[in-house]
């Protein structure tokens, strides 16, 4: 008799893990294609449309990059916290606070030149988002409050605060009572790069990604973080400053999400309004896990996920596939890829039953 033997791999897979990833992707696409066929939609055309809509032209790729920016920054942020096994579910709220911080500068100093306003917005968003992450850290360390619950609750607080501002003190006087702030002055808007659709926020992403990568790879603090994440007790025993590390990761985590909020408010909406909240903070968690907390993979995963969402719009428009199908397909892909990652960590072989 045969049975499956499951063993943890000693050496990590490198290139074969890509194969696993693509295998899972193809499998989920195949299932999606079958579902499309069941709805009497041409599955092959649909797949082509999906691909074309996401990556088929320069314009499409730009669309995806723009969409990927906030997902990437939020995801990079939560990944830092996850490295230390701190479960920051609050990227959504930190993102909102970043947007609020940036908006405060934009509304308060509309007449200053851009090279003063934009750095100011950048800094305030960083601090506001960071502080929103820091509070749960302090509550965790000194009051033993579970950070999962606290960060999650802080999302609701942040969104309510945003609502308060745009329905109240920051409401645009000429918006006919609609909840939104005044439009930012041009000096508070992150501009587009040349004649492309892209904005300079992309640079901020690259900078953050590289900085985080260097931080983990080459700095002592980064090493301490990784070590503490592997085994908290051992790290404490070795005298690593666990308290400080927790505060640091949650601050950084929130600050990066805050930058995402800043860019979204400044470059794409040009004002603060409730519809800035679309769940990037939660998407970020999935992306971080898909990418196994690696900054480069996070970049790729954010781009692919953005591509999927953009491509699905084309599928809707050209084939009138219901929006819910998009959700199903996204779920399928995430499920198969995450399940596939099992084969990256474990070796499955057939053996004889003794």
- With binding defined as CB under 8 A, does residue 201 bind another protein? no
Q: Tell me the chain's radius of gyration from C-alpha atoms.
A: 22
Nearest CB to another protein, comparing residues 185 and 294? 185
Nearest distance in Å: CB 304, another protein: 16
Nearest distance in Å: CB 147, another protein: 26
Residue span 87-126 as binding mask against another protein, x where in contact by CB under 8 A, dash where not: ----------------------------------------
Structure tokens at 141: 């360390």
Q: What's the CA gap between 316 and 323, in Å, rounded?
A: 7
- With binding defined as CB under 8 A, does residue 185 bind another protein? no
Nearest CB to another protein, comparing residues 66 and 202? 66
Structure tokens at 334: 């995430």
- With binding defined as CB under 8 A, does residue 48 bind another protein? yes
Are 25 and 334 in contact by the 8 Å Cβ rule? The answer is no
CA–CA distances in Å: residue 230 to residues 82, 84, 141, 221, 338: 11, 7, 19, 14, 21
- With binding defined as CB under 8 A, does residue 324 bind another protein? yes
Residue 5 phi/psi, 5-degree rounding, is: -110, 125
Q: What's the CA gap between 164 and 183, in Å, rounded?
A: 18
- With binding defined as CB under 8 A, does residue 53 bind another protein? yes
Nearest distance in Å: CB 225, another protein: 33
Contacts 24+ apart (CB under 8 A), 322-330: 325/35, 325/36, 325/39, 328/32, 328/35, 329/28, 329/32, 330/305
- With binding defined as CB under 8 A, does residue 51 bind another protein? yes
Are 326 and 36 in contact by the 8 Å Cβ rule? The answer is no
- With binding defined as CB under 8 A, does residue 328 bind another protein? no
Burial 274-301 (b: 16+ CB within 10 A, else e): eebbeebbbbbbbbbbbbebebebbbbb
Residue span 250-269 as binding mask against another protein, x where in contact by CB under 8 A, dash where not: --------------x---xx
- With binding defined as CB under 8 A, does residue 63 bind another protein? yes
**Stretch of 40-48, 81-89, 107-115, 202-210 contacting another protein, by CB under 8 A:** 40-48
Q: Residue numbers of the site for another protein (CB under 8 A)?
A: 22, 26, 44-45, 47-49, 51-53, 56, 59, 63, 66-67, 163-164, 167-168, 176-179, 183, 264, 268-271, 273-276, 278, 310, 313-314, 316-318, 320, 322-324
């Amino acid at each position: 008799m045969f049975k499956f033997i499951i063993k943890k791999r000693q050496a990590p897979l490198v290139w074969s893990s890509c194969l696993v990833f693509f295998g899972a992707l193809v499998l989920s696409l195949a299932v999606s294609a079958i579902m499309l066929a069941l709805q009497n939609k041409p599955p092959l055309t649909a797949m082509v449309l999906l691909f074309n809509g996401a990556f088929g032209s320069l314009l499409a790729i730009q669309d995806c990059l723009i969409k990927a920016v906030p997902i990437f920054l939020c995801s990079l942020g939560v990944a830092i916290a996850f490295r230390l096994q701190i479960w920051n579910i609050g990227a959504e709220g930190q993102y909102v606070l970043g947007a609020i911080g940036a908006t405060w500068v934009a509304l308060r100093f509309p007449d200053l030149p851009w090279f003063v306003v934009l750095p100011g917005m950048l800094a305030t968003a960083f601090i506001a988002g960071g502080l929103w992450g820091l509070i749960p850290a302090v509550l965790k360390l000194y009051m033993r409050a579970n950070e999962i619950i606290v960060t999650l609750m802080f999302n609701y607080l942040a969104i309510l605060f945003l609502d308060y501002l745009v329905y109240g003190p920051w409401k645009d006087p000429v918006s006919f009572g609609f909840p939104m702030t005044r439009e930012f002055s041009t000096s508070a808007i992150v501009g587009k790069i040349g004649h492309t659709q892209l904005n300079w926020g992309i640079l901020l992403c690259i900078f953050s990604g590289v900085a985080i990568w260097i931080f983990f790879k080459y700095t002592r603090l980064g090493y301490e973080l990784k070590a503490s994440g592997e085994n908290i007790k051992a790290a404490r025993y070795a005298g690593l400053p666990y308290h400080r590390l927790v505060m640091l990761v949650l601050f950084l985590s929130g600050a990066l999400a805050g930058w995402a909020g800043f860019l979204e408010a400044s470059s794409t909406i040009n004002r603060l309004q409730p519809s800035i909240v679309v769940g990037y903070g939660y998407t970020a968690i999935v992306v971080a896990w898909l990418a196994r907390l690696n900054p480069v993979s996070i970049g790729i995963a954010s781009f692919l996920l953005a591509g999927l969402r953009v491509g699905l719009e084309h599928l809707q428009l050209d084939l009138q596939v219901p929006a819910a199908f998009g959700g199903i397909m996204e779920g399928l892909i995430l499920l198969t890829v995450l399940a596939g990652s099992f084969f990256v960590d474990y070796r499955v072989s057939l053996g004889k039953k003794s």
